[in-house]
């Protein structure tokens, strides 16, 4: 008998084997101690279906594992060689066994395929045509989230939009409700208003990363607004402001998910599903939430340097609370405004300000500054920058070599003159009362620079 075979037949050899197995088990368990081993509890109908499918597949896998391991152990002990001279009987072929070990897995795989197909069809299904839904437009951008909602503007398209999606003019039945820099929404397409002449409104298409498409006459025009809330909860750093997407419990929710730059992923663990935000496309995720609460979420697709900071919270409210929140965020309907204008009247630049404030307002939105700092510089994920007292040269430095998680803008993308235009517009925007304190690091920069 070989030496290693004699070793495992001794008491010390068997004890060593058992202790080694115990040590490996403890090592594995120590790694799982702080990890989430099982699926999280689902808070949506779709998540419940995914969870049931998971445990069905898991249960079948456990049953197969137990049966196979039991058969292996039975063969080991049943046909154990009694001595070195006695060899077990060799069986070269058994048709019944071969049919069973081929047929049973085939039936299991086919059954799981059929069940999974119908479950996936169900969780990806849209709401019924007559069912009330809540639409949330999600925009991912390095490295922040913005959540937009919309309300009817009170006017429709007067005629079909041209076959050419690059056209920048649309005709409305009542354009008096439209002012420059208002964000309109047709279907999933967002458009920033540039000017208005008569019944014709000039727009910048594909605002917020959506895709321009053709719309038929009579299409309802919506007024889009940024409904992103924030909470300073310090999940990553003391100064973190986590964006919040607010949704109701009960109705079907349609998340229109888009990206302004690279691949991101919209992922809430309690939904038990995720969907990528793909540049140049709008992906749709349907969810019906069943429990109120705050649910920590994150980008689940590596998207660059500050991917780990790209977190958000899903806040699910009872229907009455959501309606009150929505009404407060949407604000009152715009009053009709007569006349033709291109937007210059909307900006009153302070005397002595450097730069073109009108161009700065346009750049502020086209560069995506509003995603982090709010539509009026009031502050969201990023700090409040309306009425900033930071000197222009410091602002230019911030664009080139940003502090914290802000994206860097090289001179070939945003010139110093462009930054001066944005700076000029920010001087015209009132600073909200609750944002009177300048972020500490910027204050330090000002003090250091005299």
The string of pLDDT tens digits covering residues 205-223 is 888 777 888 888 888 999 9
Q: Which helix (H) or strand (E) holds 255?
A: strand 252-259
pLDDT at position 325: 93
From residue 269, alpha-carbon distances to 30, 38, 329 in Å are: 23, 12, 27
pLDDT tens sequence across 67-95:
988 888 888 777 776 666 666 667 777 88
pLDDT attached to residue 309: 81
Q: Quick one: which of 442, 398, 393 has its CA closest to 420?
A: 393
Q: Is the pLDDT of residue 349 over 60?
A: no
- The fraction of the chain above a pLDDT of 90, given in percent, is 17
Highest mean pLDDT range out of 71-75, 165-169, 378-382, 396-400?
A: 71-75
In 10 A of CB 140, how many CB atoms?
Answer: 29
| Torsion from C-alpha of 243, 182, 420, 242, nearest 10 degrees | 0
Q: How far apart are CA 192 and CA 209, in angstroms?
A: 12
pLDDT at 350 over 80: no
Q: Over range 132-141, report the average pLDDT.
A: 90
Contact 207, 194 (CB under 8 A): no
Name the pTM for this structure.
0.74
Q: Which tens digit of pLDDT belongs to each residue from 228-246?
A: 887 766 566 555 678 899 9
Residue 13 confidence class, pLDDT cut points 50, 70, 90: low
Q: What is the DSSP track for 209-250?
A: G-------TTPEEEEEEE--EEE---SSSTT--EEEEEEESS
Position 405 scores a pLDDT of 59
Q: Is it true that domain 133-346 has CATH number 2.60.40.420?
A: yes
What are 228's two structure tokens? 């992103």
pLDDT at 163 over 80: no
Q: Which of 277, 38, 234 is CA-nearest to residue 143?
A: 277
DSSP H/E element including 277: strand 273-277
CATH annotation of 37-123: 1.10.287.90
Q: 417 and 355 in contact (C-beta within 8 Å)?
A: yes
3-state secondary structure 180-191: CCCEEEECCEEE
**Which has the closest alpha carbon to 43: 228, 244, 253, 230?**
253
pLDDT band of residue 439 (cuts 50, 70, 90) is very low
Across 440-450, average pLDDT: 47
* 352: pLDDT strictly greater than 60: no
Angle between helices 440-448 and 392-400 (to 10 degrees): 120
At 427, give phi and psi (nearest 5°): -70, -15
Q: What is the pLDDT of residue 448?
A: 52
Tokens 């802000």, located at residue: 406
Range name among 140-144, 147-151, 226-230, 435-439 with the lowest pLDDT average: 435-439
Q: Is 429 helix (H, G, I), strand (E, B) or coil?
A: coil
**CB-hemisphere CA count at 13 Å for 202?**
9
pLDDT at 318: 94
Q: What is the pLDDT of residue 164?
A: 75
Work out the angle at residue 152's Cα, subtended by the Cα atoms of residues 146 and 155, and round it to the nearest 5 degrees: 130
Residues of the chain with CATH 1.10.760.10: 347-448
Does the structure show a pLDDT above 60 at 346?
no
Residue 374: closest CA among 317, 441, 431, 333: 431
Residue 17 is inside which H or E element, if any?
Answer: helix 11-32
Indicate the average pLDDT of the chain.
80
Which pLDDT score, from 0 to 100, does residue 437 have?
A: 45
Q: What is the pLDDT of residue 137?
A: 92
pLDDT band at 37; cut points 50, 70, 90: low
Q: Which residue has the higher pLDDT, 433 or 279?
A: 279
| Residues 288-345: tens digit of each pLDDT | 999 999 998 989 889 888 788 888 999 999 999 999 999 988 888 888 888 777 654 4
- State the CATH architecture for 347-448: Orthogonal Bundle (1.10)
Q: How far apart are CA 139 and CA 260, in angstroms?
A: 7
pLDDT score for 290: 92
Contact indicator for 349, 361 with CB cutoff of 8 Å: no
The Cα 426–Cα 422 span in angstroms is 6
Query: 184 forms bridges with which residues in the sheet?
Result: 191, 223
State mean pLDDT over 110-133.
88
Residue range(s) in the chain whose domain bears CATH number 1.10.287.90: 37-123
Query: Does residue 431 surpass a pLDDT of 80?
Result: no
What's the N-to-C CA distance of the chain in angstroms? Answer: 87
Look at 139 and 39; give whichever has higher pLDDT. 139
Find the length of the chain: 450
Is 424:367 a contact under the CB 8 Å cutoff?
Answer: no
For residue 325, what are the CA distances in angstroms to 138, 205, 228, 248, 330?
A: 18, 29, 12, 10, 9
Cα distance between residue 156 and residue 395, in whole Å: 41
Q: How confident is residue 138, by pLDDT bands cut at 50, 70 and 90?
A: very high
């Amino acid at each position: 008998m070989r030496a290693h075979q004699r070793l495992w037949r001794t008491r010390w050899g068997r004890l060593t084997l058992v202790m080694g197995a115990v040590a490996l088990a403890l090592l594995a368990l120590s790694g799982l101690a702080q990890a989430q081993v099982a699926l999280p509890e689902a808070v949506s109908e779709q998540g419940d279906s995914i969870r049931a499918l998971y445990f069905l597949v898991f249960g079948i896998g456990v049953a197969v594992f137990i049966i196979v391991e039991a058969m292996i152990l039975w063969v080991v002990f049943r046909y154990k060689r009694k001595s070195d001279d006695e060899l077990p009987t060799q069986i070269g072929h058994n048709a019944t066994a071969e049919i069973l070990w081929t047929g049973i897995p085939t039936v299991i795989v086919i059954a799981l395929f059929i069940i999974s197909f119908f479950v996936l069809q169900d969780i990806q299904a849209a709401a019924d045509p007559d069912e009330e839904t809540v639409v949330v437009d999600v925009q991912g951008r390095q490295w922040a989230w913005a959540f937009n909602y919309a309300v009817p503007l009170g006017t429709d398209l007067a005629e079909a939009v041209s076959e050419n999606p690059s056209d920048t003019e649309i005709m409305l039945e009542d354009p008096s409700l439209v002012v420059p820099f208002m964000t309109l929404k047709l279907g999933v397409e967002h458009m920033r208003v540039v000017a208005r002449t008569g019944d014709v409104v000039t727009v910048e298409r594909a605002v917020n990363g959506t895709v321009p498409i053709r719309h038929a006459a009579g299409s309802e025009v919506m007024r889009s607004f940024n409904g992103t809330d924030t909470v300073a909860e310090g999940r990553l750093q003391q100064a973190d402001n986590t964006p919040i997407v607010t949704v109701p419990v009960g109705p079907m929710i349609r998340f229109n998910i888009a990206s302004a730059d690279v691949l991101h992923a919209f992922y809430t663990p309690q939904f038990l599903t995720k969907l990528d935000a793909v540049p140049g496309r709008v992906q749709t995720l349907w969810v019906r939430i069943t429990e109120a609460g705050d649910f920590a979420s994150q980008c689940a697709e590596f998207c660059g340097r500050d991917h780990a900071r790209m977190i958000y919270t899903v806040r699910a409210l009872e229907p009455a609370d959501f309606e009150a929140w929505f009404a407060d965020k949407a604000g009152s309907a715009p009053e009709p405004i007569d006349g033709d204008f291109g937007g210059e009247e909307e900006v009153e630049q302070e005397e002595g300000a450097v730069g073109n404030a009108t161009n700065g307002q346009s750049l502020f939105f086209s560069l995506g500054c509003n995603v982090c700092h709010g539509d009026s510089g009031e502050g969201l994920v990023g700090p409040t920058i309306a009425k900033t007292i930071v000197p222009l040269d410091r602002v230019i430095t911030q664009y080139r070599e940003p502090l914290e998680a802000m994206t860097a803008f090289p001179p070939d993308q945003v010139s110093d003159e462009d930054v001066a235009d944005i700076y000029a517009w920010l001087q015209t925007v009132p600073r909200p009362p609750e944002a009177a304190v300048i972020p500490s690091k910027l204050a330090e920069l000002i003090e250091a620079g005299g």
